[in-house]
Amino acid sequence: MRNVGIISVGYTPVFVSKRKDVNIPEMINEAVDAAFRNANLTPDDIDAITFGNMQTFEGVNLPHLWATEYCKALDKPYIRISTGGTTGMSTLQAAYYHVASGMHDVVMAVTWEKQSEGDSQVGLSGIVMPEAMTMVQHGMDLFGGKGMGFGGGGSTGAAAYQAMSYLHHSGASPEHIDKMASLERSNAALNPYAHLRKKTTVEDVQATPFIAWPLRFGHTCPTSDGATVAILASEDKVEKIADAVAWINGVACCTTDPATGNFIEGQITDPAEQEGAKIAAAKAYAMAGIKDPKKEIDMAELYNGFAHQSLMWLEKLGLCDEGQAHVMLDRGALNIDGELPTNASGGVFSTNAIGASAMNRPTECALQIMRKIEGGHQIPKKIKNAVSHGWGGMFQYVTVTVLGDEPRHG
Amino acid sequence: MRKIAIVAQAQIMSGSIGVPRERMLFDLVKGLYDNVGITRHDIGTFVLCSNDFEVGHTIANVFEDTPVGAYMKDETHVEADGMWAASYAAMRLMSGNYDTALVVGNSAGATTFRPYLVMDYQLNPTYDRQMGLLNELSTAALQAKAYLDKYGASEDDLNEIAARLLRNAAMNPNAVQSKAGATAGDVLASEYLYEPLRQLQCYPRTDGACAMILASEERAKELTDKPVWIKGMGNSVESYYLGERDLASSRSTKMAAERAFKMAGLSDPAKQVDVAEVGAKFAHQEPILTEAIGLFAEGSAAKVAQSGAADIGGPMPVCPSGGGIGAYCFSAAGLVRIADCVRQLQGLAGDAQVSGAKTAVAHGQDGFCAQHNAVMVLSTEEG
Amino acid sequence: MTFEMGEETRQVPGMWDVSTYEYIINGGGMKLLVDAMKEKKIRGIKCHQCGTVYVPGPTFCRKCFIDIDDVVDVKDTGVVMSYCVEMADVRGNPIEDFRLAAMIKLDGADTWVTGTITGIDWKDAKIGMKVKTLWVDEPVGSLSDIDRFEPL
Amino acid sequence: MSAQQERIVANVVVPLDFPYNYRVGPYIERYIKGLGEKKILGVKCPGDASVIVPPRKICGKCNAEMSEWVEVGPEGTIENYTIGHVNLNLGLVEKADTEYVLALIKLDGATSLIPAVVKGVAPTDVEKGMKVKAVFKDPAEDSLADLSHFELAG
C-alpha cells in the first residue's frame, strides 16, 4: 500500500463564536490559503480536493459547489463527505484513500463549519426530528418527562447518561470531569487556534451550574466558526515538495447503531460502551504496526464534545486499562509534559466548528509531530506515534487515524 | 493499480415507494446479499450516499447503517451524487485496505422531499437565493436555450430526445415516467415551464434506492462469473456562477471523461463505447453531456435525434434505460446509471438489451446546469 | 496572534422548510407497544435467531440482518442502566424541580427506555437499582400511560 | 416481514422550519451599498482582467484575489433568456399569471453575466442582443432588491 503523509495544515486565523465579517466561502478560503502558504504550495500542486461539513448547520445544500472557486478547486476532481461529528476525519480519510489508491498524488482536504449562520441546537435535534415526532404522536412528553421515551439530559442530551454510566463503570468521580475540563481549557489558553482560551482552574469549572448531573456548563463544548485544511501527499511526492511531513499510518472507522436516538426501534447499546471505538482502534493500530498502544502511542487527540469523554476514549482506544484514565489524570500523565499528553490542543471541548472538529484532531497530531505548533502547547517530548479520534452520529460513528514520524514499513 | 470489479447491483424505484426508507434499504440490500450468496459480514467497507436535505434530517446516514447491514462495521458516507460514492468505494478497494465494498444510495424525491426546493438550497444564500430568479427549471431552460442558439438545433430535436427516452423507459421496470411508442408530438403537447423547457423534457419525482457490490479482482471472480470491471474514473467541477460558463457545452464533463478514458486506455470512445448511460436531468442535457464525453460531434443533437443514432439499435445507444427522464433518484441517480450499465454488460437488460455490449460509460452530475460531473468507464473485459 | 476581524457585514435570511417534508416511518413497533400499554403491558419484538428483545420492536434484527416478528411481552419492572438529573431545561435555563431521568432496561428486554424516577432523593440514585413502572389509572394506549418509575 | 407490521406505516410531518441568517461578507456588502447610489459595482481580476458582477473574492480561473472595484452598466445586453410560464413556490410549480422574461445580461464593462427580469418588452418580441438598462428601486431599500429589474434601453 502507498504511504501517505500530511505535508501542510491551514486554519482560519481564528475560531470564534461568530465571524460577522465574512461569508461562508470567504471563511473557508482563509484556511485554504493558509494551507498553501504554510508549505509554499500552490493550487497547481493539488490533484484533487475532498470537502466536508454538516450542511444543515448552515442550511446550504452541497456547499462545496458554491465554494468551488474559494477552494481553488476549479477543473479538479472534487468530492463531498459528510458523516456527522466525524465529518472532519472522514474527509481526511477520503483524501488519504484518494492518494493510497494511486488515483492521485497530492490531495487537499477542506473541512469547516460556520455555526453562527444557523442554530446548532436545532441542527442537532434535527437528527431525530421525524422519529421524535412519531414518539410525540404516540404520547411522548418530549421535555416534560412524563411517560416513556423522552430524551432527558436537557441540552446535553444523552451525554449525561453516558457520563454517569462511564463514571459508574470506571470508578472516576464527577470531580475528575472538572479536573479534565480545567486541564483542557488551560491547554486551549496556549493554542492560538482554540476558541475558548481562558486559563481555567478546577474551581472555575466547579463554579458553573449543572445542566444535567453529572454534567455542568463547564463540561460542555462551544459552537464555533472556523475551517481547517490539510494537504496530503504520496511518499514520492513528499520527497519532492514537502519540507516537513507527518505520516498517516493507520486509518479506520466503525459504526454501531443510533444507540441513543433510535427511539422507535429500540435503543440497543450503553452510550458509554462504544464498542465501535475498540473495533476501529484495533484496526488502525494493526495497520500502523502498533502492537502495544499503551507503550507506543506518545500523544492522543480525542473528540470530546463533553469533558468526561476524554477519559472515556483513553480507555476505549486502549491507551490505558478500563478505569485507569482518571488515575493517569491524577498523576499528571495527561498534561502537555506528561507521559501521554491528551488534547494538548484543548480538544473539541474548547473549539468546535463541528465539520472541522474531527479534522483538528489529526492536524494537531501532525503539527505536534512536525514540531510546527504555534503558541505554547508544543509537546516537549519527541512524538513517534500519535492517535487521533473522531466521534459522531447518534453516538454511533467512530473514526481513528494513527500518525507517525516515520512511514509504515512493509 | 489494483483491478476493481462490480459484482452485482440492485435497484428499486417508484413514484411512491410507500414503505419506510429504512425498510426499503433493508429489503433491497438483503435481496442483493442473498442473490450474490453472501452475508453482511462478507462486506469490508460500506459507502453510503444520501443527503440531509433529501432525507429531511441532520446526518442523513444515521438511520441507514443498520438497514444495509453496517452494524459494527466500517462505514462512511458521501453527500453528493451516487457516482462519487461508487468511485470513492473503488478507491478504498484500490488502496488494498479492503476486498469488498457495498455502495448504497437512496432518495425519496416523490414522497419525502421536493426536488426543486432542495435545489433552491444549493443557491448561494447571500445572492441568488435572495434574488429568487434562478431555480432548477429556469437554469435548465437557459442552458437549453444556450445550446439551441449556439448549434442551431430546434425544440423538435429536444422533443425527439425526450420521446426516445420515454420509449426506452417503457422497457425499464424501474422507470416511473414512460410511454411506449411516445413521439415528439407527445412531448410537444406537454406544457412549457420555461421556454424552451417542456414538462416531458424533465425528470420525474422519484423514490428509490440503488445498491451494488464492488470487489477486488480475486474476490470478484469468486463472487460472480460476470464481473464488470471499473476501467476508468474521472470527475471535474466548473464554476458555480452560470454567468461565467458556456452553458451550451460541459467543460467539466469533458475533463471528467478525458480523465476516465485516459485511465481506461480508450483513445476513441465514440468507436470503443458500446452503450452510454448519462445522468441527464433534462432532455437537452443529453446532447450537451454525450458531446462532452466525446460520443458525438459537438453540436450534433439535431443529426443524432433525427437519425436515431442514439437508439438502442443505433450505432451509439444512449440511456436504453430511459435515463433521467424515466426516473431520477437524486442522491442515487449516478449510481443508477452505473447499475444500468452493469445490467447491459451482464446481459440483464431485457428488451432494452444492447446486443454484444462490452464497454459502457456512465455519468453522474451535481449542481445547476451540471456544474460537477463524474464519468466511469466499465467493461466486461478485464484487460 | 494579531489577527483583526474585519467590519461586521449584514445578515440575510434563509430557511430550511422542514414542514414541507413528508416522512414515512415504521409505525409497527410503536403501535404494538402503545396498544399493549392500554392493558398496562409492555410489548416488543424478539429476534428468533439471537434472542435480542427490542422495545419498541423493529421489523428486522440489526445484528442478524433478518426479518423478525416474534411478539413478546416484557415485565414492567427493570434495572437502571444509567441516569442523570436534569437541573436546567433544553436551552440551559436552571429549573426549580430537579428531575431524575433514567435509562432503564426492562426485565426481559435487551433495549433501554427512558423515563422519570420519583420516590427517591436523586442523591441516593444508583446504577443497577431495581425500579417498577407506575401506570396511570386509566391507560389510553399512549406512551404517557406509563406515568413514571419508582424504586422497587 | 409480517403482514401485520407491513401494513403499519406512519406518515409524519414536522410542524416547524429551521431558520438561518447568512453573513454576506464584504463584497456583497459593498455591492448593496453601491446599489443604493444607483451604481452597479464589480471587481476586476488582476490575472485575466475579467470584471465579475456580482463581486466576489476569488477568480477561479486565475486563483487570484480580486480587490480592484469598477463600476459597470447600468446599460447592458441580453446574452441569453428564457420566457417563464410558471413560478416555483417552495419547490412546487405554479402557473404564472403572465409570462415573463428572465435574461442573462452582460452589463457594459463586465465580463460575467447576471440573471435579471426584463420588463417593458413582450415575451414574443425579446431577442438576444437587445440593449437593456437597469432600473433601480427609488427610494432605495438598502438591499439586493434595489436593482429591481431591467428594461429596454433608449
pLDDT digits (tens, 9 = 90+) for D123-143: 999 999 999 999 999 999 999
Give residue D7's pLDDT: 59
Query: What is the overall mean pLDDT for chain C?
Result: 93
Write out chain C residues lying below 8 Å of B66, CB-based.
62
Q: Is B323 on the interface with D (CB under 8 A)?
A: no
Predicted confidence band of residue D30 (pLDDT cuts 50, 70, 90): very high
Give residue A131's pLDDT: 81
Give residue B280's pLDDT: 98
Cis peptide preceding B204, ω within 30 of 0: no
At C62, phi and psi to the nearest 5? Answer: -75, -15
Task: Please name the fold of domain C24-151.
Answer: OB fold (Dihydrolipoamide Acetyltransferase, E2P) (2.40.50)
Predicted confidence band of residue D61 (pLDDT cuts 50, 70, 90): very high
Distance, CA of C75 to CA of C152 (rounded, Å): 13
Q: Is C21 on the interface with B (CB under 8 A)?
A: yes
Who among D22, D28, D32 is closest to C14 (CB)? D22
pLDDT tens digit string along A280-295?
999 999 999 999 999 9
Domain map of chain A by residue range? 4-119+222-403
Task: Enumerate domains of chain B plus CATH numbers.
Answer: 4-114+205-223 (3.40.47.10)
Q: Is A149 on the interface with C (CB under 8 A)?
A: yes
Distance, CA of C43 to CA of C29 (rounded, Å): 9
CB contact under 8 A, A268 and C8: no
Instruction: Select from 3.40.50.720, 3.40.47.10, 3.40.50.1100, 1.20.1260.10 the CATH code of A4-119+222-403.
Output: 3.40.47.10
- CB-count exposure of residue A329 (10 Å: 0-12, 13-18, 19+): buried
Write out chain A residues lying below 8 Å of D54, CB-based.
none
Domain map of chain D by residue range? 21-152
CB C43 within 8 A of CB C29: no
Chain D contacts in chain C segment 81-120 (CB below 8 A): none
**Distance in Å, alpha carbon of B40 to nearest chain C alpha carbon:** 8
Write out chain D residues lying below 8 Å of A68, CB-based.
60
Question: Lowest mean pLDDT: which of A89-103, A129-143, D98-112?
Answer: A129-143
pLDDT tens digit string along A163-184?
999 999 999 999 999 999 999 9
CB contact under 8 A, C14 and B125: yes
Q: Is B114 on the interface with D (CB under 8 A)?
A: yes
SS3 A388: strand
Distance, CA of D118 to CA of D46 (rounded, Å): 32
Distance, CA of A18 to CA of A5 (rounded, Å): 33
Chain D contacts in chain B segment 347-376 (CB below 8 A): none
**Which residue spans within D33-74 are E strands per DSSP?**
40-44, 51-52, 58-59, 64-65, 68-72
Who among A43, A118, A137 is closest to D18 (CB)? A118
CB contact under 8 A, C87 and A154: yes
0.95 surpassed by pTM:
yes
**Distance in Å, alpha carbon of D22 to nearest chain B alpha carbon:** 7
Return all residues near A292 (Cβ < 8 A) that are at least 6 apart.
none
Q: Which residues of A touch chain D, with CB atoms under 8 Å apart?
A: 19-26, 29, 42-43, 56, 58-59, 68-70, 72-74, 114, 116-119, 122-123, 126, 129-130, 133-134, 137
Give residue D13's pLDDT: 84
Who among A102, A275, A393 is closest to B72 (CB)? A275
CB contact under 8 A, D21 and C21: no
pLDDT tens digit string along A185-208?
999 999 999 999 999 999 999 999
Give residue D1's pLDDT: 41
pLDDT tens digit string along A145-162?
777 776 677 778 789 999
Who among A54, A94, A97 is closest to B58 (CB)? A54
Q: What stretches in chain B show pLDDT beneath 70?
A: none
CB A403 within 8 A of CB A96: no
Interface pTM (ipTM) of the complex? 0.97
Element (DSSP H or E) covering residue B304: helix B301-307
**Distance in Å, alpha carbon of B166 to nearest chain D alpha carbon:** 22
Write out chain C residues lying below 8 Å of D22, CB-based.
11-14
What's the rounded mean pLDDT across residues A299-323?
97
